[in-house]
A and B are shown apart, each in its own frame.
Chain A
Amino acid sequence: MNVKSILPALAGVFTAAIVFLAARYASLFSTVLFVPNWLWAFLLGSALESAYFAAYFLTPRTPFTVRLVELALWLGPIYLLVGRSPSAFLWPACLTAVCWLLARGCGLELSRLEKVADLIGDQGASTVSWEYESLTSMGQDELALGFFWRRVIACAAAVVVLAVAAHRREVKAAGALLLELRLAGGTAAASGLALLGGAYLFRLQTLWACAKAAVDPALPREWLRNLAIIVALSLALVYLAPIDYSPVTADTVGRLLAAVLSRGVELPELPKAAPEERPSFSQSGDPLPEVDSVGLGGIILTAMYLLLVALVSAVLLAALGFILFELTKGEIERLRGLPRLAVQVYAAVRRAVLQVLAALGRLKSIKPIKGQAIFPGQGEERPSEPSADRDSPPERGVRALLLQIARQAGKKGLVFRRSQTPWEYGQALRGQFFPNEEVVGEFFQGYQRARYSRSGLSGAEEERVLAAGTQILNRVREWKGDEKDG
């Protein structure tokens, strides 16, 4: 599978989605920045063209004029569509050019990733294991795909800044616009993650080819399938996770800072309690101490603030501790004072997290006891009379049913091999189609008696076995292959 062929498309979609989001958020601030709907097609088209051209055709020797002509081919129609008005042309042209340039960067990077031999020399490429190691073992501060990560995170951060600005200015997006924003956000996140995963696969494929590693042909397919699952799960998590639960926000911090600056060390302005909400004991006319004038709510709020400050301090300390721990490679004996405290806090948090994980792991390991497999054993009811079709050819009865089941299952990939016994085939069927179901045992136990015992099955037993077999046959027929990988 040629992964490179789909990567420029992902880069184009990601770039267009990001520029779309940025433009939409920008248009919330000013009507001047409004963009017409037809521009989205231009954004997507220019991004795709630019990414593919850069990935496949652009070389350092490509004349600069060719690049200008390429951009002009996108800007020209826009100029015509906005009615040849320079002022109306400026913002759409700017967006298109940004989109084109961003996608071009991605395309160029894909082209660069492919040229390992150019970068490290032919000799290096033929003994590429060190390069491979350096890119796959992340001992350094650099990611294997630093360019793409920086590009994706920077673009996402820019959009987030715009979105937060809109949120804080209480510019609300609603209706179709909200839907558009959510779709574009989802598309940007999905295509961005897919681009990162795909580019990493492409990078490794290039290196594996140089190192002549024996790569499983199914790897790209499995990689992309698993990547799709992980991206979908990540997006679902992001969308379903709670938001806006932090008690310490920019507003509260701002107010706190303002209060501190204006009134020294006094507490910030506390919510005023309504007169009827005053504590009852104040109404009794008893003289109250000064502190009590703040009230119980004030005390609780103060305690909450102190708790929050402690929490924030702990988080900051843990973060600092983590950084120090990484820097000192775990040699905390070299630290003294606050740095050591920070590392200890980090270690405590880490231990707690590990304990929680271990507890979750233990919970997971408790499994229900599965039922025992049915074995033909003693104490079975002896048949009262032999079955009528005991020795009949396998056109009818239990044996014929087994043949039908085997034919159907064979079509679904579970062939009844000549060296398999019926019981072994039954176990394979159970594993493939009927996990934890006893119906297979019942049928094959009955089959064995019908096929191999001298007495065969009684009429009632045969009916029961046939019913079980029919159930199996129907299940196999209905099986679409999506319940379990064949």
Chain B
Amino acid sequence: MLTWKILTLCCVFLALLWQGRAAYSLAYLMVVLFGAAPLLLARSGNRLMVSRGSRERFLFPGDEASVSVALRNPTLLPFAWVSVQDSVPTGLVKGTRRARPVVALGSRQVKEVAFPLVARERGVYRLGPLRVAAGDFFGISTCHLQVPAEETVVVYPHVRPLPELGLPSRLSFGSLKALERINPDPARLAGVRGYQAGDPLRTIHWPATARTQELQVKQFDHTVTANCLLLLDLYEGDYPPDHFFPSVERAVSTAASLAAHIIQRGEACGLAANAVLSEYWPERTDIVHETGYVQFQPRQGTQQLSAILLALAGVQPQNHVDFYSLLAESRKQLRGASILLWVVPEDTPQLLDAAAGFLREGQRVLIFAVERVLHGELLAAPHGSALQLFAVSPGGDLPL
């Protein structure tokens, strides 16, 4: 390029010296093409506006979507071509190559380009930054921009009907032996009792007070709820190295399917996992417990399911906290009796010992072994037993 700029300068000098329409014409053309055009292109390139359609997107495995990027040329100078390349992670690339749309962008024109995505596997992905290249009509100069427009794409784990996991379609948790007390429910008047120092005045039952001529206060029952807590083992050492990733994915998918099943039955479900969260979730402090585990208190409703699936989309196995540490930590968090659903690679004797400890405390434990069942006799335990074992079928694994 330098050669051509020097040549342009020479043409200008020669035109000034020699005079004549032809010499000036050539000099002017050279100045326009090699002097003004690159400057204008660089200036217009800096003003090119690139923006994304959204900041977050939620998909299920197998879903196809497209990400749109708007290009706006606020200047009068048209761009001969504008090429946009998005940093699409491999798990989202549709086809064998990353899309690279190329458009012409006229003066003051707005165009939208789309990047097709396919949700291949669970995860939290970050799209961006966008790399934009634009050029002139003669191949003299190009300008390159890197736009930090980012978008998060969440691919939820595969949620499958229980029969696909080899589990009973009407998985029953039996009758609840224990109820957790949350708050006194003003809708559940249990009775009245005499006023004691410290009772709030607003709980005074005035008709009873009038009748007895002594202050009487209302007593309320507590809100009760069924407590299902999913405990997901994502300790790397517990999974077989030869098919590590399929096993981990099956465990996550099993946990997601169980959570969906429980919440869709209208029951409350929580989650605890000895996992690390995707690096792209640093801002989601709401799904990481202060202890470092991923933990949600049991709750009902679609929002809870959404939160659990969101966390499961981003969990990754780790190698510093084993499942027994998670159990110990969770035991502290348990309020009253609960139904514990453990999703583990296999039912080791040590695991059954740990389960026995929970059973002594009045909890129910359901173990879902995703890789191998060592204690087949437990598979025949009647429904409603305090300890039950289920073998998760690998048949429904998603092809990776």
Contact = CB atoms under 8 A, between A and B. Distances in A.
Direct contact of A and B (CB under 8 A): yes
A38 to B, nearest CB: 26
Nearest to A153: B7
B142 interface: yes
B141 interface: yes
Contacts of B28: 237-238, 241
B343 to A, nearest CB: 42
Interface in A134-154: 135-138, 140-141, 143-145, 149, 153
A141 B1 contact: yes
B7 A244 contact: no
Given A208-B102, A219-B103, A322-B5, A243 B21 contact: yes
Nearest to A197: B137
Interface stretch (A245-253, A400-408, A447-455): A245-253
Given A164-B23, A226-B80, A248-B17, A216 B4 contact: no
A157 B99 CA distance: 43
B29 A189 contact: yes
Contacts of A185: 22, 25
A211 B102 CA distance: 11
A222 B104 contact: yes
Contacts of B133: 136-137
Chain A interface, >50% SS class: helix
Contacts of B80: 197, 200-201, 223, 226-227
A137 B4 CA distance: 16
A322 B21 CA distance: 27
A351 to B, nearest CB: 14
B181 interface: no
A266 B118 CA distance: 82
Nearest to B111: A216
B23 A137 contact: no
A230 interface: yes
B104 A223 contact: yes
B311 to A, nearest CB: 35
A244 B78 CA distance: 32
A156 B137 contact: no
A149 B33 CA distance: 11
B29 A234 contact: yes
A144 B138 CA distance: 8
A164 B23 CA distance: 7
Nearest to A212: B97
B198 interface: no
B17 A163 contact: no
A244 B81 contact: no
Contact of A326 (B2, B19, B20, B141): B2
Contact of B24 (A141, A168, A241): A241
A204 interface: yes
A160 interface: yes
Given A200-B137, A204-B81, A323-B2, A249 B16 contact: yes
Interface string B217-245: 00000000000000000000000000000
Nearest to B5: A322
Contacts, number: 155
Given A189-B25, A237-B28, A323-B6, A230 B1 contact: no
B18 A168 contact: yes
Interface in A325-347: 326-327
A25 to B, nearest CB: 9
Interface size class of B (residues with CB under 8 A): 35 or more
Contact of A237 (B32, B103, B137): B32
Contact of B22 (A153, A159, A219): A159
Nearest to B43: A357
Interface in B50-105: 78, 80-81, 83, 97, 99-104
B17 A196 contact: no
Contact of B103 (A143, A156, A216): A216
Interface string A294-329: 000000000000000000000000010011001100
A213 B23 contact: no
B138 A197 contact: yes
A319 B9 contact: yes
A143 B4 contact: yes
B135 interface: yes
Contacts of A214: 99-102, 113
A141 B3 contact: yes
Contacts of A174: none
B94 to A, nearest CB: 11
Most interface-central of A138, A141, A167, A327 (chain B CB within 10 A): A138
Interface in A262-318: none
B82 to A, nearest CB: 10
Given A197-B138, A319-B9, A216 B102 contact: yes
B100 A211 contact: yes
Interface string B174-192: 0000000000000000000
A269 B272 CA distance: 100
A215 B102 contact: yes
A218 interface: yes
B138 to A, nearest CB: 5
B374 interface: no
A345 to B, nearest CB: 14
B104 A167 contact: no
B139 interface: yes
Interface string B114-157: 00000000000000000001010111111010000000000000
Contacts of B78: 226, 230
Interface string A172-193: 0000000000000100010001
Contacts of A145: 138-139
Most interface-central of B23, B83, B111, B139 (chain A CB within 10 A): B139
A203 interface: yes
A185 B140 CA distance: 23
B26 A244 contact: no
Given A226-B78, A226-B106, A234-B32, A156 B26 contact: yes
Contacts of A153: 7, 30
A120 B162 CA distance: 54
B145 to A, nearest CB: 12
Contacts of B5: 322, 326
A143 B7 contact: no
A219 B7 contact: no
Contacts of B135: 136
A243 B19 contact: yes
Contacts of B137: 197, 200-201, 223, 226-227, 230
Contact of A219 (B6, B43, B104): B104
Given A163-B21, A234-B29, 9 more contacts: A144-B139, A185-B25, A189-B29, A200-B138, A218-B104, A226-B104, A250-B18, A319-B6, A323-B6
User: 7 tightest CB-CB pairs across the interface, nearest first?
Assistant: A144-B139, A163-B22, A246-B16, A222-B104, A167-B20, A243-B24, A200-B139
17 contacts: A137-B142, A137-B144, A138-B139, A138-B140, A141-B3, A143-B4, A156-B29, A197-B80, A197-B138, A204-B81, A214-B99, A222-B104, A234-B29, A237-B28, A241-B24, A249-B17, A323-B6
